[in-house]
Amino acid sequence: MSEILGLWLEWLPRLLGGLWLGCKVAGLSLILGIPLGLVLALTVQAKSTVLRAATLVVVEIGRGTPALVLLQLAYFGLPSAGLTLSAMAASVLALAVCAAAYTSEIIRGGLEAVAAGQKEAADALGMSRLDKLRFIVLPQGLAVALPPLLGFSITILQGTSLCFAITLPELISQAYAIGASTFRYLPALVLASLLYAAICIPASMLVGVLERRLGAHHRA
Amino acid sequence: MNETSATDIRPLVLVEGLRKSFGSHEVLKGIDLSVQRGEIVAIIGPSGSGKSTLLRCVNQLETHTAGTVTVAGVTIGPDSASHDRELQKLRRNVGMVFQSFNLFPHLNVLRNVSIAQQRVLGRSQAEADERSMQLLTRVGLADKAKQYPARCSGGQQQRIAIARALALDPQIMLFDEPTSALDPELGLEVLAVMRELAEGGMTMIVVTHEMHFAEDVSNRVLIMADGEIIEQGPSREVMQKPQTERARQFLSAVRDR
């Protein structure tokens, strides 16, 4: 046991580096993906049929394509189309597309959960479409969407392990490399999963707390 | 400017040949209604008679299938080919109070009353808040300004909703069963505010099940059944000597309760 602890201590800096890289990729793809998801959630309800159809295509492709395939398209596919990206850039791009598609559905659900009476009250007060959205519908809809959005963010963080397939030196790549050079795959991968758990379990608990809080606030 | 002067003899609200269908079901079958400035009109009738739909057509929360609705000189035709701008212009003159209050749960009471003043009338936050505090004082809820709606009773919420609608200085107030979601006791405090408004000369159309309010406070009562106005006239006359059998039937049914 103490032997394994010794190995873990020795590997920890390297694995933490990998975890940090995964967090950066997850963070950047969410920073890009969630605002895009919000835009898609709004355009999917647009009056224009063209805009609606275009949104549906983007969302369905984003959700229908496995993240691993998106990653490989971005890293191995795009160079044939004249765009060569680093492993980091390709990871962020692919996961941002994935995040945009999924979060657009989460946000759309949140916006639809806003009671019809709220929109009617804003209409009756003569508020413009944009003001109604900005001051009445979005604040309430995003509050509903916040817990599932955070839950999805955790999924994206775990999803960064797929970037292993396109040579990004994130946590799993590091653990695999350690395994390959020491033949101690099991302890290396166990430590990697403990590190994921150390972030994901508290984050999930936080989501639970938040869900209860928001639920209490909204019960009128 | 003419259309807002107090001596204007044209009706403030004019509804002509109004029809409304939901799918193949016609809920309003040709309604004509005119409301003069300062008039208080109560609309009563059994559920499903179309009274709420009629009210909601006045500020175009429902579009109508045929006919026209004119409020303070703004006319809206059927199936609202009208632009948002026209609708906003009409709604600017019309305040509405809903059965389920529909306060904004994420804003405190003061913001609930101020927000549309700022966004629709372009008042500064200070001006809006000052007006809001006046109105909240008037409905007896100045001390709730910093609370969230969920912390207020139903009666308080409805009084806040009235203040919110009044804050835009509407020319007419629409009430859609404002006391139906309240205990009788809480309903009374809302009715008291409405009575005060009526005494202050506000033009009001009130869809209600409160027969006392209809009889004592309103000038005119409309009885609706099956999408039509079956009887209308001065409140006491209609309530005490209804002419049609259908109206007699309805009134005796609500009185027997």
Map out the domains of chain A as residue ranges.
2-218
A-chain CB neighbours of B59 within 8 Å are: 124
Please indicate whether, in this complex, the C-beta atoms of B164 and A140 are within 8 angstroms of each other: no
Interface test with A, best of B89, B120, B168, B180 (most A CBs within 10 A): B120
- B59's tokens: 């500020």
Q: Does A219 touch chain B (CB under 8 A)?
A: yes
Is residue B196 scored above 90 in pLDDT?
yes
Chain A positions touching B114 (Cβ under 8 A) are none
Picking from B96, B97, B149, B89, the residue whose alpha carbon sits closest to that of residue B120 is: B89
Residues 6 or more apart from A91 whose CB is under 8 A from it?
A25, A29, A71, A74, A75, A160, A163, A166, A168
B window 93-152, beta carbon within 8 A of A: 94-96, 98, 100, 102-106, 115-116, 119-120, 148-150
DSSP of B103-142, one letter per residue?
A: --TTS-HHHHHHHHHHHHS---HHHHHHHHHHHHHHTT-G
- Within 10 angstroms of residue A81's Cβ, the number of other Cβ atoms is 8
Q: What is the pLDDT of residue B34?
A: 95
Query: Across the interface, do A115 and B102 touch by the CB < 8 Å criterion?
Result: yes
Q: What is the pLDDT of residue A215?
A: 67
CB contact, 8 Å: A125 with chain B? yes
What is the rounded average pLDDT of the residues A140-166?
94
- A69/chain B closest Cα distance in angstroms: 41
Q: Which residues pair with B34 in a beta bridge?
A: B14
Tens-place pLDDT, residues B35-93 = 999 999 999 999 989 999 999 999 999 999 999 999 999 999 887 666 788 898 999 99
Write the CB contacts of A214 (distance below 8 Å, at least 6 apart in sequence). A143, A144, A146, A147
- The arrangement of strands across the sheet holding B13-22 comes to B25-35, B13-22, B66-71, B74-76
pLDDT at B146: 96
pLDDT score recorded for residue A219? 47
* Strand segments (E) across chain B: 13-22, 25-35, 40-44, 66-71, 74-76, 94-97, 172-176, 203-207, 220-225, 228-234
Average pLDDT score over residue span A119-140: 95
CA dist., res. B210 & res. B214, Å (int): 6
Interchain contact A35–B (C-beta under 8 A):
no
Residue of B nearest to A118 (CA): B102
Q: Is the pLDDT of residue A40 over 90?
A: yes
Beta carbon pairs, A and B, within 8 Å? 66
Q: Is the pLDDT of residue B123 over 50?
A: yes
- If one compares B15 and B4, the residue with the highest pLDDT of the two is B15
Binary contact (A125, B88; C-beta < 8 A): no
Mean pLDDT taken over chain A: 93
Question: Quick one: A2-218 is in which CATH superfamily?
Answer: MetI-like (1.10.3720.10)
What is the average per-residue pLDDT within A69-97?
95
Range of lowest pLDDT (A180-184, B5-9, B48-52): B5-9
- Whether A220 has a pLDDT exceeding 60, the answer reads no
Asked if A126's CB is within 8 angstroms of B91's CB, the reply is yes
pLDDT at B3: 46
Contact B162, B182 (CB under 8 A): no
Higher pLDDT, A215 or B26: B26
Å from A135 to nearest chain B CA? 8
Q: Is the pLDDT of residue A174 over 70?
A: yes
* Facing B116 at nearest CB: one of A120, A125, A217: A125
| pLDDT attached to residue B86 | 87
DSSP symbol at B14: E
Structural tokens at position B5: 């002067």
Q: State the distance between the two ends of chain A, measured CA to CA, in whole angstroms.
A: 55
Q: Tell me whether A143 touches chain B (CB under 8 Å).
A: yes
Phi/psi class of residue B28: alpha, beta or left (left: φ > 0; alpha: ψ in -120 to 50)?
beta
Mean pLDDT of chain B: 92
Rounded to whole angstroms, the Cα distance separating A151 from A155 reads: 7
pLDDT band with cut points at 50, 70 and 90 for residue B27 = very high
Residue B257 has pLDDT above 70, yes or no: no
When scoring B53, B62, B88, B160 by the number of chain A Cβ atoms within 10 A, the one with the most, hence best to mutate, is B88
Q: Is A89 on the interface with B (CB under 8 A)?
A: no
